[in-house]
């Protein structure tokens, strides 16, 4: 369907008042709780300065922007501005997704707190079976919090930027054909994968880039002991540190974290000689385990979550 076919959507959001709602949160709040069918919300181009939450009672929401570049959800909360103690980071989001079977496309989600503000989340997603397509997620430290016990999230053709630990959390998240852009010498991921989960963050066919003055970026460090990150068939720029991975000054984590690569290319790719010895290169057979369907699907999905199943398999 085209963006102009507004009759194909349940609600239209327009900041100028030419729609069903002027605010995205109002459209989400107006949607039926626990719907039988999907609820589609079309967001016209504009800058929407608001904190948006898709609640757990709002599953099956499609949030569709008119264009990724010009449909922008933005806010500027950060750790110090929240004032909620040591857990303030988790209140800084611009967009928080708790409703399962969420799907977003053609949107920008940004946190404009700035590079010196500390932790400032743009996208906080703890939903299961959440899909983000052709989205831009912009921030600095802690840009994307991908979380949720047992939650699975799929990012396709997205652009994500940040400085320190800008992809963090314990979800199983698959990034396919995404651009991951570092804005400072620091760390891309800080996974906290639960020990019971077979996968954490998987990057397939991604491109890792950086600002011109950035030259020492680690692919990840373990926020929790069983962090699991895999980088497959991706292009790594020269900004990637030859060691690849960092133990967060906790040598014991080297025994429990899983950091693997397969068939990477580019000046920052693993060459077999300089990566830390506690991270590994997968064999072709081992890499097959990280196929998208194997990482993201469960036996019941085809029957009980058909939209998710199609998103992962098509």
Whole-number pLDDT of residue 3 = 42
DSSP state of 265: B
**Bridge partners (DSSP) listed for residue 42:** 12, 64
Q: Is residue 22 part of a domain?
A: yes
Q: Judge whether 62 counts as a catalytic residue.
A: no
Residue 57 lies in a domain: yes
Report the alpha-carbon distance of residue 22 to residue 63 in Å, rounded: 14
Q: Nearest to residue 32, comparing CAs of 61, 9, 71, 6? A: 61
pTM of the model: 0.97
The encoded tokens of residue 1 equal 């369907």
Of 10, 62, 128, 165, the active-site residue reads: 165
165 is catalytic: yes
pLDDT at 296 (0 to 100): 98
Give residue 271's pLDDT.
Answer: 77
Flag whether 1 is in a domain.
no
Q: What is the pLDDT of residue 272?
A: 61
Give the number of other CB atoms < 10 A from CB of residue 258. Answer: 18
* Share above pLDDT 70 across residues of the chain, in percent, rounded to a whole number: 97
- Residue ranges making up the domain that contains 170: 6-313
Q: Which of 10, 62, 77, 142 is catalytic?
A: 142
Residue 153 lies in a domain: yes
> What are the pLDDT digits (tens) for 139-177?
999 999 999 989 999 999 999 999 999 999 999 999 999
CATH at 191: 2.160.20.10
Is 282 part of any domain?
yes
pLDDT tens string 5-51: 566 899 999 999 999 999 999 999 999 999 999 999 999 999 999 99
Q: How many domains does the chain have?
A: 1
């Amino acid at each position: 369907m085209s963006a102009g076919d507004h009759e194909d959507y349940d609600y239209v959001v327009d900041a100028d008042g030419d729609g069903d709602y002027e605010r995205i949160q109002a459209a989400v709040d107006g949607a039926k709780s626990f719907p039988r069918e999907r609820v589609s919300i079309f967001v016209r181009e504009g800058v929407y300065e608001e904190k948006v939450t898709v609640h757990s009672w709002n599953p099956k929401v499609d949030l569709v922007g008119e264009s990724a570049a010009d449909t922008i959800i933005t806010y500027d909360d950060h750790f110090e501005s929240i004032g909620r103690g040591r857990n303030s980071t988790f209140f800084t989001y611009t967009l928080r997704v708790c409703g399962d079977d969420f799907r977003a496309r053609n949107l920008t989600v940004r946190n404009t707190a700035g590079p010196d503000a500390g932790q400032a989340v743009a996208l906080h997603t703890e939903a299961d079976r959440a899909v983000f397509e052709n989205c831009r997620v912009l921030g600095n430290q802690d840009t994307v919090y991908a979380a949720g016990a047992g939650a699975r999230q799929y990012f396709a053709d997205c652009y994500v930027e940040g400085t320190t630990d800008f992809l963090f959390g314990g979800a199983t998240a698959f990034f396919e054909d995404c651009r991951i852009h570092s804005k400072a010498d620091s760390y891309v991921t800080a996974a906290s994968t639960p020990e019971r989960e077979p996968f954490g963050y998987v990057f397939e066919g991604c491109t890792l880039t950086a600002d011109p003055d950035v030259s020492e970026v680690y692919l990840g460090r373990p926020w929790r002991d069983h962090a699991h990150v895999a980088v497959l068939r991706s292009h790594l720029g020269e900004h990637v540190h030859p060691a690849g991975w960092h133990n967060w000054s906790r040598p014991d984590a080297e025994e429990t974290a899983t950091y693997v690569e397969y068939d990477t290319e580019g000046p920052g790719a693993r060459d077999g000689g300089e990566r830390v010895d506690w991270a590994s290169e997968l064999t072709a057979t081992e890499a097959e385990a990280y196929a998208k369907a194997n990482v993201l699907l469960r036996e019941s999905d085809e029957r009980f979550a058909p939209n998710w199943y199609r998103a992962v398999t098509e």
